[in-house]
Amino acid sequence: MPADDTSPANGVSRRRFVSGTLGVGLSATASGTLSATVSQAQATPAPPSDKTTPLFDPDYGRLIGRSDLDHTGSIPTGTQGMSVANGRFGGPVWQSNGSTLVMQLNHTDMFMFNDASAASKDHQNSGGGAVGRIHIGFGTGTVFDTTTRQHLSLYDGKLSITGTGVHAAVIADMDSDVIAIQVTDDRATHQPITVDLAMLRDANQIWGAHSAISTLTTVGGRGRPEARSETIVLEQVVQEPSDTGTKINDHYVNTAVAATVRGRQISDVVSNTIGNRATLRMNLPARQGTFTVVVGGAADSRTALRTAKATAVANTNKAPDYARIRARGQAWWRDFWHKSYVYFPTQFNFEQRRNYYMYLAAISNRGSYPSKYNGGIWIGEEDRRDWGSFYWNWNQDCLYQPLLAANHLDLLEPMFKMRQTSYEQYRVAARQMWGSEGIFIGETVGILGWETLPDGIADAMQQYYTFKTSTRTQEFTDITMRRNRFLSPWNWNVFGSNNQASYVTHTMMAAQETAEYYWQVYCYTKDLDWLREVAYPFIKGAAEMYRNYDGLRKESDGKYHFYNTNLHEHIWAGKDVIDDLSMARGVFAAVVKASELLGADQTNRPLWKEIRDNLAAYPLRSDAGALWAASTNPSLASQLATDQPAWAQGLQPAYFVRDLHGTESPIFKMLEKYDVLNLETRDQGLDNGDWEIALNTYLHSPGYLNQVNGQVIDRNGSSRFHVDAARLGRADDMAKILNTQYGVFSTYGVFPNLLFNQLDYYSAEGYGTFAAALQEALNQSLSPTTAGDPVIRVFPAWPRTWDAKYKLLAKDGFLVSSSMVSGDIQYVEIESQLGERACLRNPWDSDVVLYRQERKAETLVAPEDGLLQFRTHKGEHIVLVRAGTTPDMYRTSDLIGTTAGHGVSVARVG
Rounded to the nearest 10 degrees, what angle do helices 455-465 and 423-434 cross at?
60
775: left (phi over 0), alpha (psi -120 to 50) or beta: alpha
Helix H or strand E segment including 738: helix 731-747
In angstroms, how far apart are the furthest CA atoms of the chain? 89
pLDDT given for residue 760 in this prediction: 62
pLDDT given for residue 43 in this prediction: 40
Helix H or strand E segment including 314: helix 308-317
pLDDT given for residue 221 in this prediction: 57
Query: How far, in Å, are 95, 136, 291 from residue 190 at the CA level?
Result: 20, 15, 14
pLDDT given for residue 665 in this prediction: 73
Q: Is the pLDDT of residue 505 over 70?
A: yes
Q: How many CB atoms lie within 10 A of CB 306?
A: 13
Task: Give the mean model confidence (pLDDT) for residues 142-168.
Answer: 98
Are 827 and 818 in contact by the 8 Å Cβ rule? The answer is: yes
Q: Which domains does the chain have, with CATH numbers?
A: 72-339 (2.70.98.50), 390-635+656-661 (1.50.10.10), 665-779 (no CATH), 800-889 (2.60.40.1180)
Q: Could you give the CA distance from residue 572 to residue 508 in angstroms, rounded to a whole number?
A: 12
Q: How many CB atoms lie within 10 A of CB 14?
A: 11
85 DSSP β-pair partners: 90
What is the residue type of 572? Answer: W
Strand order in the sheet with 571-574: 565-567, 571-574, 656-657
Query: Given the DSSP bridges, would you call strands 38-40 and 867-870 parallel, antiparallel or unpaired?
Result: parallel
Are 657 and 628 in contact by the 8 Å Cβ rule? The answer is: no
pLDDT given for residue 10 in this prediction: 36
- What's the per-residue H, E or C state across 618-639? CCECCCCCEECHHHCCHHHHHH
Query: How far, in Å, are 13, 439, 459, 463 from residue 429 at the CA level?
Result: 20, 7, 12, 14
State the pTM of this model: 0.93
Task: Give the mean model confidence (pLDDT) for residues 132-141.
Answer: 96
pLDDT given for residue 749 in this prediction: 59
What is the residue type of 6? Answer: T
What is the residue type of 637? Answer: A
Alpha-carbon Rg of the chain, whole angstroms? 28
Q: How many CB atoms lie within 10 A of CB 581?
A: 23
Are 861 and 28 in contact by the 8 Å Cβ rule? The answer is: no
The helix/strand/coil state of 476 is helix
Strand order in the sheet with 130-137: 82-85, 89-97, 100-107, 130-137, 193-198, 277-284, 268-274
Spell out the residues 6+ positions from residue 178 whose beta carbon is closer than 8 angstroms to its own: 86, 89, 172, 294, 295, 296, 297, 315, 316, 319, 325
pLDDT given for residue 38 in this prediction: 28
Taking the alpha carbons at both ends of the chain, their separation in whole angstroms is 61
How do the residues of the chain divide into helix, strand and coil, expressed in percent and rounded to 5?
A: 30, 25, 45
Are 441 and 514 in contact by the 8 Å Cβ rule? The answer is: yes
pLDDT given for residue 757 in this prediction: 72
Task: Give the mean model confidence (pLDDT) for residues 472-484.
Answer: 97
Strand order in the sheet with 876-882: 341-343, 804-810, 814-821, 824-832, 876-882, 848-852, 855-860
Of the candidates 247, 242, 255, 211, the residue with the CA atom closest to the CA atom of residue 123: 211
pLDDT given for residue 461 in this prediction: 98
Query: How far, in Å, are 129, 360, 398, 764, 765 from residue 373 at the CA level?
Result: 12, 11, 8, 7, 6
Reported as a pLDDT band with limits 50, 70 and 90, residue 903 is very low
User: Torsions phi, psi of 300, nearest 5?
Assistant: -140, 115
In DSSP notation, 859-893 reads EE---TT-EEEE---TTEEEEEEETT--GGGG-B-
Q: Tell me: the pLDDT tens digits for 327-343?
A: 999 999 999 999 999 99
What's CA 879's distance to the chain center, in Å? Answer: 32
What is the residue type of 417? Answer: K
Q: Tell me: the pLDDT tens digits for 2-43?
A: 333 333 333 343 344 444 444 333 332 222 222 222 233 334
Q: Could you give the CA distance from residue 440 to residue 543 in angstroms, rounded to a whole number?
A: 10
Q: Is the pLDDT of residue 565 over 80?
A: yes
Q: Is the pLDDT of residue 218 over 80?
A: yes
Q: Is the pLDDT of residue 635 over 80?
A: no
Are 170 and 179 in contact by the 8 Å Cβ rule? The answer is: yes
The helix/strand/coil state of 97 is strand
Q: Regarding predicted confidence, which is higher, 143 or 633?
A: 143
Of the candidates 281, 269, 262, the residue with the CA atom closest to the CA atom of residue 178: 262
pLDDT given for residue 411 in this prediction: 98
Q: Is the pLDDT of residue 167 over 60?
A: yes
Q: Is the pLDDT of residue 782 over 70?
A: yes
What's CA 109's distance to the chain center, in Å? Answer: 16
- Please tell me what DSSP assigns to residue 660: -
Least confident of 446-450, 676-680, 703-707, 904-908: 904-908
Helix H or strand E segment including 294: strand 289-300
Q: Could you give the CA distance from residue 539 to residue 515 in angstroms, rounded to a whole number?
A: 5
Of the candidates 542, 730, 562, 700, the residue with the CA atom closest to the CA atom of residue 621: 700
- Please tell me what DSSP assigns to residue 748: S
Q: Could you give the CA distance from residue 454 to residue 432 in angstroms, rounded to a whole number?
A: 9
Reported as a pLDDT band with limits 50, 70 and 90, residue 228 is low
Q: Could you give the CA distance from residue 215 to residue 896 in angstroms, rounded to a whole number?
A: 53
Torsion (CA) 830, 401, 790, 609 in degrees, nearest 10: 160
Q: Could you give the CA distance from residue 452 to residue 448 in angstroms, rounded to a whole number?
A: 9
pLDDT given for residue 640 in this prediction: 58
Q: Could you give the CA distance from residue 680 to residue 695 in angstroms, rounded to a whole number?
A: 15
Are 38 and 839 in contact by the 8 Å Cβ rule? The answer is: yes
pLDDT given for residue 641 in this prediction: 54
What's CA 862's distance to the chain center, in Å? Answer: 38
Are 705 and 636 in contact by the 8 Å Cβ rule? The answer is: yes
Q: How many CB atoms lie within 10 A of CB 137?
A: 22
pLDDT given for residue 556 in this prediction: 98
Q: Is the pLDDT of residue 140 over 50?
A: yes
pLDDT above 90 covers what percent of the chain? 79
235 DSSP β-pair partners: 215, 256
Reported as a pLDDT band with limits 50, 70 and 90, residue 496 is confident
User: Torsions phi, psi of 356, nearest 5?
Assistant: -65, -35
Spell out the residues 6+ positions from residue 521 whose beta carbon is closer than 8 angstroms to its own: 17, 404, 409, 412, 527, 530, 535
Least confident of 29-33, 588-592, 603-607, 754-758: 29-33
Residue 43 CB-half CA count within 13 A: 11
- What's the per-residue H, E or C state across 811-858? HHHEEEEEEEECCEEEEEEEEECCCCCEEEECCCCCCEEEEECCEEEE
Q: Could you give the CA distance from residue 417 to residue 497 in angstroms, rounded to a whole number?
A: 36
Are 481 and 495 in contact by the 8 Å Cβ rule? The answer is: no
Are 650 and 574 in contact by the 8 Å Cβ rule? The answer is: yes
